Structure 1
Amino acid sequence: MGHVRRAEQCRPAGQTGCDPPLCRRHRRQSQRTVSASTLAPLTAWLPSLIAAVAGFGALALLTWLLLRRKAVVGRQTRVWRHLTLALATIAVIVAVIATLPIEDTVRAQLLSFLGLLISGVIGLSSTSFVGNAMAGLMLRALNNIRPGDFVRVGEHFGKVSEFGLLHTELQSEERTLITMPNLHLVTNPVEVVRSSGTVVTATVSLGYDVSRQTATEALLDAARAAQLEEPFVHVLELGDFSVTYRISGLLPNVRYLITARSALREAMLDGLHKAGIEIASPTLMNQRQYPPQWRFVPHASTSTAPEPEQPRAENIVFDKAEAAETAERIRERLDELEQEIEAAHHDKDEERAARLEQARTHLRDKLNELES
């Protein structure tokens, strides 16, 4: 009977037993019930939506702070900033999965799948694209190779012109570019010439008729003429027909390593010939008959004109490597300027901060010219 009376009360106006206020109240209650049932799924997804929006918003802000705001940074800083972004991205994905309105078993399966995916990528690092990236990170952690360094890897020798995450590029003495994957550098011995100085050496064979003291004095004079510091001589071998000597000296400025090697050999030729010492490298064999007092030494030049100056080979063949080295030094100086500017603003020394900002602008313009 109650259902009948309520149905009669909600009849349209004009019919028997109709009460318009009760009808409107009933319709409002029905609409609220429908609205609540419609919004229930959206309410369940609301935490996930908030986590996703907040997480990716934080990633966008982090990207701007790390990469956009300070776009010009050093090699090490760039690598760590990209790693920071990668870890933050994984953290956001985990947070979104944790807030999904799903059963705990499904959530655990999604997190397990994410862990397996990351483990699989790391597991394939020894033989795949990721392997070179992992090798690049390892080389950066060791920090023993920098743009502009002279490097020998197997039969390849040159100056580092590019040091990327996946590959390293060398510029050879013939000005050719040699690209090697970083995995190759990690699995093979790498010789790096120290920027603080290196030892330049050359070997020569002299006859047994030349005393060791005379040979040593002539070779030391040649090393000094080639502007090598602290030269020394070693006897390497007592051969069947000649004695092999090695002259060595310290070259402080490794930028002109190729020229220094040639200059040492030129000085050895001139010094030994001037001293009347016969060079027997590698073995002196001559079937012609000569008097015993004959020496195979060229006559001294009678020309008084100065020897023409030759361009340094390094300035020609290592142009890209030199530019990469200069750019790397500018990036390091820009990092230092950023810290100095922040310190100046913190100390409220606006005049010093303005000077530093002007220097930073100049270096950024120079860096853009090198990279263009």
Structure 2
Amino acid sequence: MLELLRSFLPLLLTLALVLATLLGAHVTLRRRWAERPEAQFQFQLIMLALTLAGLLALVVALPVSDTVQGQLLSLIGILLSAAIALSSATFIGNILAGIMLKAVGSARPGDFITVASLTGRISEMGLLHTEIQTEFRDLVTVPNIYMVTQPVKVVRASGSIITAEVSLGFDVPHSRAREVLRSAAEASGLKDCFVHVRELGDFSVTYRAAGLLEDVQSLLSARSKLQECMLDGLHEAGIEIVSPTFMNTRALEPGARVLPPDQAQQSKPSAEGPQAEDIAFDKAEEAASAEKLRLAIEELDAELTSLEEQGGDAVKDRAKQLAADREQLAARLESALARMQAEEREESGAATR
């Protein structure tokens, strides 16, 4: 009995030491980082490392032969290697996908994109993930591997086609409907407007009005403006809207139409407030501005390099002006990045409170 106790004494001492170490580290780190909720990841990482070290120490202290200890250590190594291999597949895949997105350059911070059913503006592109700000001002983190395995629609900076559909009755001549809807699209500020007949339904005809929007930064407002102009244009023309299926249980006089009151009798609309894009895509807009500043600095660097290769007094003044412009752009970029970091810290602090 005494011999058995002596053989297990090192294991018991090691177990007590490991438990004391883990408990002491837990209490110390909790007390030290009590006011820092963002340090939770560091705390968990340290405790995981100490737990693994304690497990190895217990294996070494087991009263078994060296061969058995070697087999146990090999088994632990195999399990850890398998866990790392399985988890690193997604990790490495996201890194490679991030490099691919940067190399292809199909999307940049500030662009309007649609990934599967998610629509918004890119506010940040990292090595592991892409952050998208939705029209509700929410920030959605999308893994890069998802970005390269799903269809991604990017709104071109040079312009995008804005569309809206409406259903009208069969009693409305299509030539008249085309004329009214095209005028409404032009009134909304779109260019190269056109109208298509989309469907001949059981109860109505579906029309699509469309036009080119050159200022894609006002995408949300432009869609709303187009539908407002279509609504006003059809009402002013005395055309009923029967989208998608017109149903009314009230008794109406023959020839009666369901239209809003005369525009002249309605109260004047109040002054328009801020656009939806100014509120919804604030972070994405800052990211787009920072990206434009980076591109401008790169262009200036390339031009300065070209001037230095040319040499001569004729280009010195131009080089000085470019250098001054570069300093101004660099200062603006630094200020924009500092402002973005400050806002992120404020959001992190508000989230932890």
Aligned to 1:173: 135
> Matches of 1:209 and 1:292 in 2, distance apart?
15
| Among 326, 334, 352, the residue aligned to 1:360 | 326
Map Cα deviations across residues 111-150 of structure 1 (whole Å, 9 max, x no partner): xxxxxxxxxxxx9899321111101111222211111111
2:317, 2:158 → 1: CA distance?
36
Q: Taking structure 1 as the reference length, what is the TM-score of the superposition?
A: 0.64
Report the residue type matching 1:321 in the other structure: A
Instruction: Please report the RMSD computed on the Cα atoms of aligned residues, expressed in angstroms.
Output: 2.0
C-alpha distance after superposition, 1:330-359 (max 9, x if no partner)? 111111211222333341433222211111
Inter-CA distance 251–126: structure 2 relative to 1 (3 Å threshold): farther
- Counterpart of 2:236? 274
- Find the partner of 1:345 among 305, 308, 312: 308
Partner of 1:198: 160
Provide structure 2 residue ranges, at least 5 long, that are not aligned to the other structure. Answer: 1-84, 339-353
Task: State the match for 1:187 in structure 2.
Answer: 149
Q: How far 1:306 sits from its partner (Å)? A: 6.5
AA aligned opposite 1:297:
L
Task: Map residues 39-118 of structure 1 onto 2, 5 A cutoff.
Answer: none
Deviations 1:168-199 (A, max 9, x none): 11110001101101000111111111111111
* Equivalent-residue separation in structure 1 for 2:194 and 2:329 (angstroms): 43
Tell me the residue number matched to 1:321.
284
Aligned pairs for 1:245-324 within 5 A: 245-302=207-264, 305=268, 307-324=270-287
- In the alignment, the residues of structure 1 paired with residue 243 and residue 228 of structure 2 have an alpha-carbon distance, to the nearest angstrom, of 15
Q: How many residues align?
A: 251
**Structure whose alpha-carbon radius of gyration is higher:** 1
Q: CA deviation at 1:310?
A: 2.8
- Structure 1: 5+ residue stretches without partners: 1-122
Deviation string 1:252-291 (CA, Å, 9 cap, x unpaired) is 1111111100000000110000000001011111111111
- 1:198–1:254 CA contact under 8 A, matched in 2: yes
Matched, 1:231 2:193: yes
CA apart distance, 1:304? 7.6
Q: Which amino acid aligns with 1:324?
A: A
Q: Does 1:333 align with 2:299?
A: no
Cα pair distance change 1:284/1:126, threshold 3 Å: farther
Give the 3 Å change call, closer, same or farther, for CA 125–363 of structure 1 in structure 2.
farther
Which AA in structure 2 matches 1:164? G
- Which AA in structure 1 matches 2:323? E
Tell me the amino acid that sits aligned with residue 221 of structure 1.
Answer: S
Question: What percentage of aligned pairs have identical amino acids?
Answer: 50
Alpha-carbon distance in 1 for matches of 2:334, 2:279: 22
Shift of 1:159: 0.5
Q: Which amino acid aligns with 2:279?
A: I
- Whole-Å Cα distance in 2 between the matches of residues 158 and 216 of structure 1? 31
1:136 has 2:75 as partner: no
Report the CA distance shift for 1:282/1:141 in structure 2 as closer, same or farther (over 3 A): same
Counterpart for residue 53 of structure 2 = none
Supply the distance in 2 between the matched residues of 1:152 and 1:126 (Cα, whole angstroms): 28
The alignment's TM-score, normalised by the length of structure 2, stands at 0.68
Report the equivalent of 1:371.
337
Provide closer, same or farther for how the CA distance between residues 310 and 175 of structure 1 changes in structure 2, counting only shifts above 3 A. same
Distance (whole Å) between structure 1 residues aligned to residue 326 and residue 164 of structure 2: 45
TM-fit CA distance, 1:232:
1.2
For 2:243 and 2:268, how far apart are their aligned partners in 1? 30
Are the aligned partners of 1:132 and 1:166 in contact in 2 as well (CA < 8 Å)?
A: yes
8 Å CA contact retained: 1:124, 1:130: no
Of 190, 196, 202, 1:240 maps to: 202
User: SS of the counterpart of 1:127?
Assistant: helix
Question: Contact 1:125–1:131 at 8 Å: present in 2 too?
Answer: no
Distance 2:317 2:87 in 1: 51
Q: Post-superposition shift, 1:226?
A: 0.6
